[in-house]
């Protein structure tokens, strides 16, 4: 039996490419430890003094079960599926993956004695890696071009079973230069990225994640077994550096990309100052680091960085990020190659340094959820290549700087504030943005008292926004219905305390397909009237609008037009 175990282990060592690091791999060390301890105990039993029959029986039983475990592992390797460069949705691949899952389950739940050390080993991960890696590698190699492959490798840094907003990846890809927000008027960066997502989905590499019954998915996820393979592929390509547990690290020596990761061993932010040659850094991605304690002198030396994803990528605001001192942000003045800056959800930033206005290559600035931010720099209009500006949920900003109207390339603007008029009027009004010919998505927050008619006057100017396709308006308090722009495809209203109807006259109708109505306590309308106002309606979502009647929504407040 000893010889059989040895032969099986030799077979496993030679047969499985993933076990080529036999001496270092944690799984194999645990397996060998299990077998060698059994052999050692048995040898002592045979050569030492004869002890009780019970111990002999125990060792024999232990050896038999060891033999059984190794044999099952050999069998799982021997029965690996045939490889295909097509996709991972094939029945053969799914059957193989399901079979591996059942084997992993059986191994975990079989009533056999296993040493304590082996119980920490992720057997499912071990089997999935050894059995599916080449299948996934074949699909990866079959991707059409290098750009698709690079975009796919970005998935390697996200935690297992993470639900990832597509927007996070799109912005990252823009920052890396994989896709661009400038150039063609026919296809946006989002359109190009959606083609990539569709390709990955068709190949079985990622899955769509839908919210309620919305017709389109704005998030995606990845099967754990595929994620393990992506980590190996990214590591092999030098796209990121990973530790022995598959966690991305701050080491940018070879990859030019660093990840901010908080682990039990410590914080990567504290390790970064020991990494020299900051000029090599091309991208920094915050995976789960809650404290951005950068040393200003170190931060300012990243002259060629293109991506700074310092804020959170998760949707939930429960993932808190903060700075002790935002002084390090002054170092942005040296980063003339920066294309994407995200401070999403970062607290304790009260204002942005004026040096941010020198970032002539900046495409995307995400300030979403910076709850302590009080103002934007006046010189923001000098960001001539800025296409996306997100200030949503920056509640302390009361007025917009005049320079916003100079952002000629702006396509997406979120969190524009209509505040209480102030003397001099030296701030940006909604009408000032009507000259932005590329603006297609706009969200507005109205934050002034009911006695002022300024909100009504500003909202009427929406009729001038001819190319706007998506509009969202939230109110602290609400007045009359705004004059609508002509060709909007989506509209969302939130917290409209005084809004009572959406009518604009006998012949006026909304050219809108998707409508979301939330917290509109005084909005009174029935299903027939809604259909008349929105003849092209395909999706309706309602949240706490008690006076809307006879609306055929489901238990989640959603109505969707039948296909």
pLDDT, tens digit (0-9, with 9 covering 90-100), for 115-141: 333 334 454 455 445 667 888 999 999
472 and 495 share a domain?
no
494 and 472 share a domain?
no
In a domain, 127, yes or no: no
Helix (H/G/I), strand (E/B), else coil: 298: helix
335 and 432 share a domain?
yes
DSSP class per residue in 355-403: GGGG-TT--EEE-TT-TT--B--GGGGG-TT--EEE-TT-TT--SB-GG
pLDDT at 531: 87
pLDDT at 428: 93
In a domain, 484, yes or no: no
In a domain, 146, yes or no: no
pLDDT at 278: 84
How many residues are present in the chain? Answer: 563
413 and 538 share a domain?
no
Domain boundary among 479, 498, 531: 479
DSSP class per residue in 140-178: HHTSSSHHHHHHHHGGGGSPTT--EEHHHHHHHHHHHTS
465 and 524 share a domain?
no
401 and 496 share a domain?
no
Domain boundary among 54, 87, 117: 117
473 and 426 share a domain?
yes
405 and 286 share a domain?
yes
Spans of the chain below 70 pLDDT: 1-86, 90-131, 183-185, 448-452, 476-501, 503-508
291 and 353 share a domain?
yes
Tokens 């699909």, located at residue: 139
416 and 522 share a domain?
no
364 and 243 share a domain?
yes
Exposed/middle/buried for residue 134 (C-beta within 10 Å: 0-12, 13-18, 19+): middle
Report the C-alpha gap between 448 and 228 in whole angstroms: 51
A 10 A CB-CB count for 533 gives 18
In a domain, 48, yes or no: yes
448 and 356 share a domain?
yes
pLDDT at 483: 44
pLDDT at 19: 42
Report the C-alpha gap between 300 and 334 in whole angstroms: 6
pLDDT at 542: 87
Query: Domain span at residue 527?
Result: 489-563
In a domain, 194, yes or no: no
> What's the number of domains the chain is made of?
3
In a domain, 183, yes or no: no
Contact (CB, 8 A) for 456 and 430 = no
Domain boundary among 102, 117, 132: 117
In a domain, 39, yes or no: yes
């Amino acid at each position: 039996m000893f010889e059989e175990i040895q032969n099986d282990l030799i077979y496993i060592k030679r047969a499985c490419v993933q076990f080529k690091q036999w001496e270092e791999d944690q799984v194999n060390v645990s397996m060998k430890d299990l077998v060698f301890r059994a052999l050692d105990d048995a040898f002592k039993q045979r050569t030492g003094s004869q002890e009780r029959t019970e111990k002999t029986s125990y060792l024999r039983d232990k050896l038999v079960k060891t033999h059984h475990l190794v044999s099952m592992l050999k069998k799982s390797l021997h029965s690996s599926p045939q490889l295909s460069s097509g996709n991972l949705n094939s029945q053969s691949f799914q059957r193989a993956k399901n079979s591996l899952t059942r084997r992993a389950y059986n191994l975990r739940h079989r009533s056999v004695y296993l040493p304590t050390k082996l119980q920490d080993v992720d057997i499912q991960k071990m089997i999935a890696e050894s059995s599916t890696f080449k299948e996934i590698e074949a699909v990866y190699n079959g991707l059409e071009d290098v750009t698709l492959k690079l975009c796919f490798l970005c998935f390697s840094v996200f935690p297992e079973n993470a639900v990832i907003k597509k927007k996070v990846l799109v912005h990252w890809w823009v920052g890396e230069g994989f896709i661009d927000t400038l150039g063609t008027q026919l296809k946006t960066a989002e359109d190009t990225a959606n083609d990539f997502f569709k390709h990955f989905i068709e190949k079985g590499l990622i899955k769509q994640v839908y919210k309620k019954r919305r017709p389109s998915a704005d998030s995606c996820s990845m099967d754990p077994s595929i994620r393990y393979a992506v980590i190996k592929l990214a590591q092999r390509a030098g796209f990121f550096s990973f530790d022995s547990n598959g966690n991305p690290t701050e080491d940018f020596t070879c990859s030019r990309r660093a990840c901010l990761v908080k682990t039990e061993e410590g914080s990567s932010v504290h390790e970064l100052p020991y990494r020299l040659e900051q000029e090599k850094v091309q991208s920094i991605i915050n995976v789960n680091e809650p404290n951005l304690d950068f040393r200003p002198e170190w931060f300012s030396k990243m002259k060629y960085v293109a991506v700074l994803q310092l804020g959170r990528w998760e949707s939930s605001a429960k993932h808190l990020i903060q700075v002790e001192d935002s002084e390090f942000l002054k170092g942005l003045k040296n980063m003339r190659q920066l294309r994407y800056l995200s401070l999403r959800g970062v607290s304790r930033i009260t204002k942005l340094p004026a040096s941010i206005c020198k970032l002539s290559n900046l495409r995307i600035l995400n300030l979403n959820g910076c709850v302590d931010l009080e103002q934007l720099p006046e010189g923001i209009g000098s960001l001539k290549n800025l296409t996306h500006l997100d200030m949503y949920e920056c509640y302390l900003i009361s007025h917009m700087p005049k320079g916003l109207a100079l952002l000629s390339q702006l396509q997406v603007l979120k969190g524009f504030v209509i505040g209480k008029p102030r003397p001099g009027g030296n701030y940006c009004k909604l009408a000032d943005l009507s000259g932005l010919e590329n603006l297609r998505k706009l969200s507005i927050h109205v934050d002034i008292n009911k006695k002022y008619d300024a909100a009504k006057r500003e909202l009427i100017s929406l009729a001038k926004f001819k190319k706007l396709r998506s509009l969202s308006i939230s109110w602290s308090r609400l007045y009359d219905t705004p004059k609508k722009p002509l060709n909007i495809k989506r509209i969302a209203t939130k917290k409209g305390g005084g809004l009572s109807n959406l009518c604009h006259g006998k012949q006026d109708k909304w050219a809108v397909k998707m409508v979301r109505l939330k917290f509109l306590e005084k909005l009174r309308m029935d299903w027939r009237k809604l259909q008349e106002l929105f003849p092209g309606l395909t999706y309706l979502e309602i949240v706490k609008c008690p006076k809307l009647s006879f609306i055929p929504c489901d238990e989640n407040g959603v109505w969707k037009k039948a296909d």
